[in-house]
Amino acid sequence: MGNNGVLDARERSAMLSRLATERFDVLIIGGGITGAGAALDAASRGLRVALVEARDLASGTSSRSSKLIHGGLRYLEQRDFKLVYEALRERDLLVSKLAPHLVKPVSFLYPLYKKVVERPYVGAGLALYDAMEGTRRPVPHHRHMTARGALKLAPALSPERLAGAMLYYDAQVDDARHTLTVARTAAAHGAVIATRVSAVGLLRSPDGERVTGARVRNEETGHEVTVTAEAVVVCAGVWTDLVHELAGVRAGYQVRMSKGVHIVVPREAVQAETGVIVRTDKSVLFFIPWGEYWIVGTTDTDFSGDRAEPVATEEDVDYILTAANRVLVRPLTRADVIAVYAGLRPLVAAPPSNGAKGPKPTTKVSREHVVDVPLPGLASVAGGKFTTYRLMARDVVDAAVADFGQAVPASVTDQVPLLGADGLAAVRAGAGRLAEDYLLPRATVEHLLDRYGALAGEVLDLIRADPGLAQPLADGHPYLRAEVVYAVTHENALHVEDVLMRRMRLSIESADAGTGVADAVSTIMGRLLGWSRRKRAAETRRYLDLVAAEQTMTALGPESVPGPILARATAG
Ligand SMILES: Cc1cc2nc3c(=O)[nH]c(=O)nc-3n(C[C@H](O)[C@H](O)[C@H](O)COP(=O)(O)OP(=O)(O)OC[C@H]3O[C@@H](n4cnc5c(N)ncnc54)[C@H](O)[C@@H]3O)c2cc1C
């Protein structure tokens, strides 16, 4: 067994020496949701597993999504029935059993503007969507609504031409936290999880026929070691082609990058008690409730720039504002925008064939995943969605172990609740008592339960030992100083950005992107990690530079964009 899922950044050298000295059954390259899922899948089958992630867990696409665990209503329209069916099953499993502390139901209002044509069409789609659910039904059934009913729930919608609405349910998650929790659960089953360690070359058997591990580089020191494994599994998202190049192989598919941008606005800027989904010319636009904010997006454009830090442009932001303002009574302006973030969808496409007439628009490319074994000992997976990570993980591990000498048990992850899920009901029921015992507001205890589930007690233990850690980290935000400590001692945070961008989400929830507390975070981390004064200052500066680079590209200014363009409100 593992270490109860504690990923302690202070134990980094011990973990790195395990990488170099142990022999693994499976080495996973990539610590996004797919790689973390594969580590859990393989470790919970009793295999010896190591995972290397070049930067931080979820630092790629898996912290930059729409944060929905959903069937994908619009894939029904594309007749992607298998994808929708599988995704809805996964959604229900996550909400009811695997991660009820992290994955929560959320409602969406779908306004209708052409009653006669739209209601039967959308209604039939939603009926099918609901029918594809399992029989346990952890999220409610959809409902038809009148225009009046819709405006009561969402007064922010312009009443003009509104003919009615549908209300349906999906689920949402903090994507970075979910990824981290899956990785920690894998560690609890014995997996070695190494971040800021890149695969820089793949090892071959003496006859060159089989991949037998990888050469990896510690990105903090530049030091390289070899990791030996029976099979290597590539879960590198939009970097997949580059990892295949390291192996000198060409897989049966290519990964195409599609950029998706979201803006974050305060809750007051859009008056509604439910999420909203509206159709746009190209796809759909979501207003997703996110604590005290709305996440609004997304875009879908082909991308070929720097995959490590994709940035939003002014045009991306204007596109979202314009699409939003087509249905809002009070237009959103740039002044409302607190933050902007961009992510890259790893979409699968067949390798280019001669005579092809140029790329398909990315909105039409399938979100289903593809598994390939380009060489014995090397399996890779790409495509899919966050929602279906467990299936992607199962399928790629199945492919990786298919030629192992001895039988490997089938995947059991449908029966493995993530850390923090077990015992959740009892801990939730005792939330009032916890608040009294620790002299904390009830809302703070609820905040901890939503983030750590039944493990919230581990954060509270830190407060018991040092009551000063109960102080909020930043004014007006729920995060506590204890959570910075926990991020280092239990969640493997190595740098300030790991804390402010992913362990907590101040980078997108605060108008200053968390820069005002970067120094405080650096000081708390520095005490635990033995940073000198100079190193602390450098860590703070590193975060400020990262934020400045992103903001320069987006160049958010106070000028407003066009208001409601109601004539085009029902485009598509
Ligand atoms: C805008 C947007 C919105 C989305 N919304 C949703 C949604 O609402 N619901 C949903 O289900 N899905 C959604 N998705 C899709 C979902 O986010 C992705 O499918 C998923 O996050 C991909 O995870 P991944 O692990 O495959 O890739 P990533 O998260 O990118 O992970 C790959 C990792 O590999 C690492 N890596 C690369 N090369 C190396 C190397 N040589 N050595 C070590 N590590 C390496 C990278 O650093 C990276 O962390 C959305 C995607 C986008 C872009």
Q: In a 3-state reduction of DSSP, which class is residue 225?
A: strand
CB neighbourhood size of 403 (10 A): 12
Per-residue pLDDT tens digits for 42-57: 999 999 999 999 999 9
pLDDT of 211 over the 90 cut: yes
239, 242, 263, 307, best to mutate for ligand 1 pocket (most atoms within 8 Å of CB): 239
- Comparing 82-86, 121-125, 342-346, the range with the smallest average pLDDT is 121-125
Residue 356 scores a pLDDT above 70:
no
Q: Which of 345, 348, 369 to mutate to test the pocket of ligand 1 (most atoms within 8 A of CB)?
A: 345
Mean per-residue pLDDT, 482-501: 98
Q: Is the CB of 37 under 6 A from ligand 1?
A: no
What are 232's strand-pairing partners? 27, 378
> Which band of pLDDT confidence, cut at 50, 70 and 90, is reported for residue 40?
very high
Read off the pLDDT of residues 126-175 as tens digits, 9 standing for 90 and up: 777 777 766 566 777 888 999 999 999 999 999 998 999 999 999 999 99
pLDDT at 264: 98
565 confidence band (pLDDT: 50, 70, 90): very low
- CA–centroid distance, 63 to ligand 1, in Å, is 8
> What's the pLDDT score for residue 570?
27
User: DSSP secondary structure string, 12-69?
Assistant: HHHHHHHHHHSEEEEEEE--SHHHHHHHHHHHTTT--EEEEESSSTT-SGGGSS--EE
DSSP output for 401-457: HTT-SS--PPP-GGG-PPTTTTTHHHHHHTHHHHHHHTT--HHHHHHHHHHHGGGHH
Dist. CA 344 → ligand 1 center (Å):
7
Q: Is the CB of 310 under 6 A from ligand 1?
A: no
Instruction: Dig out the tokens for 87 from the structure.
Output: 């995704």
Percentage of the chain exceeding pLDDT 70 = 91
Segment 176-202 mean pLDDT: 98
| 3-class SS letters over 320-379 | HHHHHHCCECCCCCHHHCCEEEEEEEEEEECCCCCCCCCCCCHHHCCCCEEEEEEECCEE
Average the pLDDT over 419-423 and give the result.
96
Distance from the alpha carbon of residue 166 to the mean position of ligand 1, in angstroms:
31
Place of tokens 């919608």: 157
Mean pLDDT (whole number) for 313-342? 96
The H helix count followed by the E strand count for the chain is: 19, 18
Q: What is the pTM of this model?
A: 0.94
Between 80 and 226, residue with greater pLDDT: 226
Per the DSSP assignment, residues forming a β-bridge with 296 are: 263, 287
Average pLDDT for 1-12: 86
Average pLDDT across the chain, whole number: 90
Task: Write down the pLDDT at residue 84.
Answer: 83
Range of weakest confidence among 37-51, 333-347, 499-513, 540-554: 540-554
How far is the centre of ligand 1, averaged over its atoms, from the C-alpha of 10 (Å)?
27
Does 71 sit in the ligand 1 pocket, CB within 6 Å? no
Mean pLDDT for the stretch of residues 223-252 = 94
Distance of CA 294 to the CA centre of its chain: 17
Q: Return the HEC string of 32-43.
A: CHHHHHHHHHHH
With a cut of 70, say whether residue 358 has pLDDT above it: no
pLDDT of residue 562: 36
pLDDT tens track for 258-299: 999 999 999 999 999 999 999 888 789 999 999 999 999 999
Longest distance between any two alpha carbons in the chain, whole Å:
73
Half-sphere exposure of 383 (CA within 13 A, CB side): 20
Alpha helices by DSSP H, listed for 189-289, are 240-247
Better pLDDT: 311 or 126 = 311
Percent of the chain at pLDDT exceeding 90: 78
**Ligand 1 centre and the CA of 23: distance in Å?**
27
Q: Are 349 and 366 in contact (CB under 8 A)?
A: no
Which residue, by CA, sits nearest to atom 15 of ligand 1? 385
Closest alpha carbon to 287 in 495, 481, 549, 67: 67
pLDDT band at 553 (very low <50, low <70, confident <90, very high): low
Collapsing DSSP to helix, strand or coil, 105 comes out as strand
For ligand 1, whether the C-beta of 370 sits within 6 Å is no
